[in-house]
């Protein structure tokens, strides 16, 4: 035992020498912030929290940990909703924060590409892209905190997936520190590259279990010029799908976001978020937040929006509608949508699901899912909202006043109800939040043995010692 403690002490001394005082987190409060997840649900012990300042330092830290057989937990903005970025309980680990890898290595205005390091905050990267006349179309509520390394490691989605795809589609190349401490330089800037297996895709969405993303080459899109933001009241998700079909027809590629919001979700925002107000004079059961935008000047956009509203009204799909006429109004409409998670927290305990089904099956998912959950937990209310344009809904059961312990105990049973339904509708139990610790057992129970075997063999091939973010995903 004494020998092991001494060698552990030696490992910590070696780590401290690599990152220096600036990269060594010693204050207990600061350490606690890195070992507790954003939802305050998972906490695990840290042997050390280190913040390397360069890819080379990341590699040295990982090499030392690999040699000592010490688990490494990569962490970026620590905004995971599934406990993916903190140590597992009972498993003392080295938390490796990439937050000091902050440089934007290059922007190429002709290629429309950008190479950024893993600790860059998404909002900063968006701003830099904009300043160069381009758009990084990854957009989500946590963009002021979430960092590139975590966004890619979880294949982040957000509100523009309908038009631009997920983080996967926006990534041209990666630089990764492998679990043995070697650096893989895959920072290519190519749109086309058919030279064997597409290795970068293995690391995107792997939640840091196969290596640590230290930098990424990103594909930019032309900046947006003309835009319209609409808030539509509709009877039900089926009517919202009708509007979606018409919007695709009338707006074409200009359709960039199509979000569905239940009245229940809006009411939580109106009750808990100061300064929010109902955009429409009379309540509707459901709402659509639609954004249309173009990169070329589009004098036709206003007319196309008018036509959409007319055809949708004529087809009986709309209860009411408002088109934002100033950028302040646009921001206010988006704020209603983006404040829902915060309002849910203020309302009280809830159980969260991040699910997706083929777009056409969303109405069935909503109707059957709400009936199942609300019958299984009397007093609970389903708060449904999300990205109707790509079939991904946040489908949460809000249980104000519930005993949190009893609710936690009922969670597996409630999850099974909704995940069985998702399975029948040929959907997925995690659309954009990932697996982390939260969905690990459910993934194992719901993927085919062959798929699980392939995943385990990939993990085994890249991380045979199992030191990289153990206890997550698999
Ligand atoms: Zn979302």
**62 C-alpha vs ligand 1 centroid, how far in Å?**
32
**418 C-alpha vs ligand 1 centroid, how far in Å?**
18
**Can you tell me the distance from the alpha carbon of 150 to that of 86, in angstroms, rounded to the nearest whole number?**
12
**67 C-alpha vs ligand 1 centroid, how far in Å?**
39
% of residues, the chain, pLDDT over 70 = 100
Phi-psi region at 31: left, alpha or beta (left = phi > 0; alpha = psi -120 to 50): alpha
In order of 104, 188, 214, 339, the CA distances from 127 in angstroms are 11, 23, 20, 22
Tell me which DSSP letter residue 252 carries. G
First to last CA, the chain: 30
**205 C-alpha vs ligand 1 centroid, how far in Å?**
15
**Can you tell me the distance from the alpha carbon of 101 to that of 106, in angstroms, rounded to the nearest whole number?**
14
Tell me the per-residue pLDDT of 315-344, one tens digit each, with 9 for 90 and over: 999 999 999 999 999 999 999 999 999 999
**299 C-alpha vs ligand 1 centroid, how far in Å?**
31
**152 C-alpha vs ligand 1 centroid, how far in Å?**
15
Predicted local confidence at residue 2, as pLDDT: 63
Tell me the per-residue pLDDT of 243-291, one tens digit each, with 9 for 90 and over: 999 999 999 999 999 999 999 999 999 999 999 999 999 999 999 999 9
Residue 207: name the closest of 438, 464, 435 by CA.
435
The tokens 């359709």 sit on which residue?
255
**8 C-alpha vs ligand 1 centroid, how far in Å?**
41
**318 C-alpha vs ligand 1 centroid, how far in Å?**
24
**69 C-alpha vs ligand 1 centroid, how far in Å?**
36
Residue 6 — pLDDT band, cuts 50, 70, 90? confident
Tell me the per-residue pLDDT of 125-145, one tens digit each, with 9 for 90 and over: 999 999 999 999 999 888 999
**81 C-alpha vs ligand 1 centroid, how far in Å?**
11
Q: Do residues 140 and 158 touch, judged by C-beta distance below 8 A?
A: yes
Residue 1 — pLDDT band, cuts 50, 70, 90? low
- Assess whether pLDDT exceeds 70 at residue 44: yes
**193 C-alpha vs ligand 1 centroid, how far in Å?**
30
**373 C-alpha vs ligand 1 centroid, how far in Å?**
20
**405 C-alpha vs ligand 1 centroid, how far in Å?**
26
**63 C-alpha vs ligand 1 centroid, how far in Å?**
36
**188 C-alpha vs ligand 1 centroid, how far in Å?**
29
Residue 4 — pLDDT band, cuts 50, 70, 90? confident
**400 C-alpha vs ligand 1 centroid, how far in Å?**
22
**158 C-alpha vs ligand 1 centroid, how far in Å?**
5
**259 C-alpha vs ligand 1 centroid, how far in Å?**
10
The tokens 């909503």 sit on which residue?
366
**430 C-alpha vs ligand 1 centroid, how far in Å?**
11
**387 C-alpha vs ligand 1 centroid, how far in Å?**
7
**432 C-alpha vs ligand 1 centroid, how far in Å?**
7
**337 C-alpha vs ligand 1 centroid, how far in Å?**
10
The residue-averaged pLDDT of 153-174 equals: 96
**396 C-alpha vs ligand 1 centroid, how far in Å?**
12
In order of 212, 256, 372, the CA distances from 104 in angstroms are 18, 26, 48
Phi-psi region at 348: left, alpha or beta (left = phi > 0; alpha = psi -120 to 50): left
**379 C-alpha vs ligand 1 centroid, how far in Å?**
25
Tell me the per-residue pLDDT of 356-413, one tens digit each, with 9 for 90 and over: 999 999 999 999 999 999 999 999 999 999 999 999 999 999 999 999 999 999 999 9
**Can you tell me the distance from the alpha carbon of 19 to that of 35, in angstroms, rounded to the nearest whole number?**
19
Q: How many alpha carbons fall within 13 Å on the CB side of residue 472?
A: 34
Tell me the per-residue pLDDT of 85-119, one tens digit each, with 9 for 90 and over: 999 999 999 999 999 999 999 999 999 999 999 99
**258 C-alpha vs ligand 1 centroid, how far in Å?**
12
**19 C-alpha vs ligand 1 centroid, how far in Å?**
35
Model-level pTM? 0.94
Predicted local confidence at residue 292, as pLDDT: 98
Residue 219: name the closest of 172, 253, 173 by CA.
172
Tokens of 84: 């993916």
- Assess whether pLDDT exceeds 80 at residue 3: no
């Amino acid at each position: 035992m004494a020998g092991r403690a001494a060698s552990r002490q030696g490992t910590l001394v070696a780590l401290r020498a690599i990152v220096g005082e600036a990269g060594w987190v010693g204050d207990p409060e600061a350490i606690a912030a890195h070992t507790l997840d954003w939802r305050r649900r998972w906490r695990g012990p840290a042997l050390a929290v280190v913040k390397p300042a360069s890819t080379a330092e990341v590699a040295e830290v990982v090499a030392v940990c690999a040699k000592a057989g010490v688990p490494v937990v990569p962490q970026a903005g620590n905004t995971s909703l599934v406990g993916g970025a903190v140590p597992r309980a009972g498993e003392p680990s080295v938390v490796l924060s990439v937050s000091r890898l902050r440089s934007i290595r290059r922007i190429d205005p002709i290629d429309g590409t950008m190479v950024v390091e893993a600790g860059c905050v998404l909002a900063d990267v968006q701003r830099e892209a904009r300043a160069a006349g381009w758009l990084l179309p990854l957009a989500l509520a946590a963009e002021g905190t979430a960092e590139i390394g975590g966004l890619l490691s979880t294949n982040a989605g957000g509100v523009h997936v309908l038009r631009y795809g997920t983080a996967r589609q926006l990534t041209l190349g990666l630089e990764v520190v492998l679990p043995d401490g070697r650096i893989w330089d895959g920072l290519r800037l190519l749109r086309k590259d058919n030279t064997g297996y597409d290795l970068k895709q293995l690391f995107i969405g792997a939640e840091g279990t196969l290596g640590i993303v230290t930098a990424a080459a990103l594909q930019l899109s032309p900046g947006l010029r003309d835009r319209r933001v609409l808030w539509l009241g509709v009877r039900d998700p089926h009517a919202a799908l009708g509007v979606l079909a018409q919007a695709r027809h009338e707006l074409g590629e200009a359709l960039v976001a199509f979000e569905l919001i239940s009245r229940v979700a809006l009411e939580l925002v109106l009750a808990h978020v100061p300064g929010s107000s109902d955009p429409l004079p009379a309540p509707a059961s459901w709402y659509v937040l639609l954004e249309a935008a173009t990169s070329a000047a589009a004098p036709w956009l206003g007319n196309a929006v008018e036509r959409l509203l007319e055809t949708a009204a004529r087809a009986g799909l709309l209860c009411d509608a408002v088109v934002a006429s100033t950028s302040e109004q646009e921001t206010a409409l988006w704020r209603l949508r983006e404040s829902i998670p915060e309002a849910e927290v203020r309302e009280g305990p809830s159980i969260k699901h991040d699910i997706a089904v083929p777009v056409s099956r969303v109405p069935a998912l909503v109707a059957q899912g709400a009936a199942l959950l609300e019958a299984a937990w009397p007093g609970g209310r389903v708060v449904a909202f999300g990205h109707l344009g790509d079939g991904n809904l946040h489908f949460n059961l809000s249980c104000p006043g519930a005993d949190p312990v009893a609710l936690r105990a009922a969670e597996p049973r409630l999850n099974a109800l909704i995940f069985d339904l998702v399975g029948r509708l040929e959907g997925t139990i995690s659309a954009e939040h990932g697996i982390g610790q939260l969905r690990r057992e459910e993934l194992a129970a719901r993927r085919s043995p062959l798929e699980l075997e392939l995943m385990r063999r990939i993990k085994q091939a890249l991380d045979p010692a199992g030191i990289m973010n153990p206890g997550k995903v698999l």
